Amino acid sequence: MSKLFRAVILGPPGSGKGTISERVASIFGLQHLSSGDFLRQNITANTEAGILAKAYIEKGALVPDHVMTRLMLPRLEEMTRHSWLLDGFPRTLAQAEALNSACDLDVVISLNIPLETLKERLRHRWIHPASGRVYNMCFNPPRVQGVDDITGEPLIQHEDDKPEALVARLRHYKDVAKPVIDLYRAKGILHMFSDTETDRIWPYVSSLLSAKIPTDHADAQRAT
Ligand code: G5P
């Protein structure tokens, strides 16, 4: 079997991490583990971590580091036979250091999207508070306006996704992410991509990964 491949994708809320991760997973056969999706599954399943995380997610705040590492590291241990792409974790230096002590990364993809673009994407974001399900009124609207597809309950907009709070939140992201980005740059594994459109970033991500992942890897991974 070819060497396992470990990658992380970093980027602010709305930067396209999820969109790019899905393409990577389907083309290169990496398992996609999204911390946001995993938290939402835990909220739905009413686990201890889910109960702890819910209040933070509702406020649009970061879930504390100890909750995140206790949730994510055991999940990664279950994936030791797979190549993976982590989306949304680590978000802080403490999380990056915890990940560092658990495994070596091959590549870190960092999305650098202009503030105006993020503001435009996020101001259309609505959330189902009980489950954490996220909708975007332009790109993935609910079937019926204003209500959750699964439960029919009303959707809300994060106080933090409202225009007045957005800029402060995105600046806060930048402050928290900077030491994480610096750490990976110092390790020589950081690859930064800047543009306003995911479709224009994608060819560069794709060619980076094509150069790093052996051609037989995706098939071998899908077979495991
Ligand atoms: P999540 O789930 O990690 P966010 O807020 O970081 O949530 P989000 O919104 O899921 O990130 P994304 O994955 O970066 O954004 O981007 P995406 O979903 O692909 O794209 C965003 C929208 O823009 C989509 O509707 C997409 O269709 C559209 N889009 C993409 N590309 C383009 C484009 O080129 N053009 C246009 N026009 N549109 C485009 O985390 C949720 C919460 O969980 C907690 C936090 O509370 C967080 O707020 N959390 C953590 N807390 C602490 N530590 C961690 N590690 C945590 N991880 C999660």
Phi-psi region of 88 (alpha: psi -120 to 50; beta: other; left: phi over 0): left
Ligand 1 centroid to Cα of residue 124, in Å, is 12
Q: Is 221 in the pocket of ligand 1 (CB under 6 A)?
A: no
Ligand 1 centroid to Cα of residue 14, in Å, is 4
pLDDT winner (highest mean) among 111-120, 128-137, 152-161, 163-172: 111-120
pLDDT of 138-174, one tens digit each? 878 999 999 999 999 999 887 667 776 778 778 889 9
30-34, 174-178, 215-219: range with lowest mean pLDDT: 215-219
DSSP string, 5-55: -EEEEE--TTSSHHHHHHHHHHHH-PEEEEHHHHHHHHHHTT-HHHHHHHH
Phi-psi region of 46 (alpha: psi -120 to 50; beta: other; left: phi over 0): left
Please check the confidence at residue 59 and state whether its pLDDT lies above 90: no
Ligand 1 centroid to Cα of residue 216, in Å, is 31
User: What is the Cα–Cα distance from 114 to 218, expressed in whole angstroms?
Assistant: 32
Strand, helix or coil at 111? strand
Q: Is 40 in the pocket of ligand 1 (CB under 6 A)?
A: no
The tokens of 158 are what?
């994060």
pLDDT value of residue 86: 98
Ligand 1 centroid to Cα of residue 36, in Å, is 8
pLDDT value of residue 219: 62
User: What is the Cα–Cα distance from 124 to 190, expressed in whole angstroms?
Assistant: 30
Give pTM, 2 decimals: 0.89
pLDDT of 70-103, one tens digit each? 999 999 999 989 999 999 999 999 999 999 999 9
- The single-letter DSSP state of residue 3 is P
Query: What's the mean pLDDT in 47-56?
Result: 91
Q: Is 16 in the pocket of ligand 1 (CB under 6 A)?
A: yes
Q: Is 142 in the pocket of ligand 1 (CB under 6 A)?
A: no
pLDDT value of residue 6: 96
45-54, 113-122, 124-133: range with lowest mean pLDDT: 124-133
Q: Which atom of ligand 1 is nearest to the CA of 59?
A: 46
Count of beta carbons in the 10 Å neighbourhood of residue 120: 14
Q: Is 49 in the pocket of ligand 1 (CB under 6 A)?
A: no
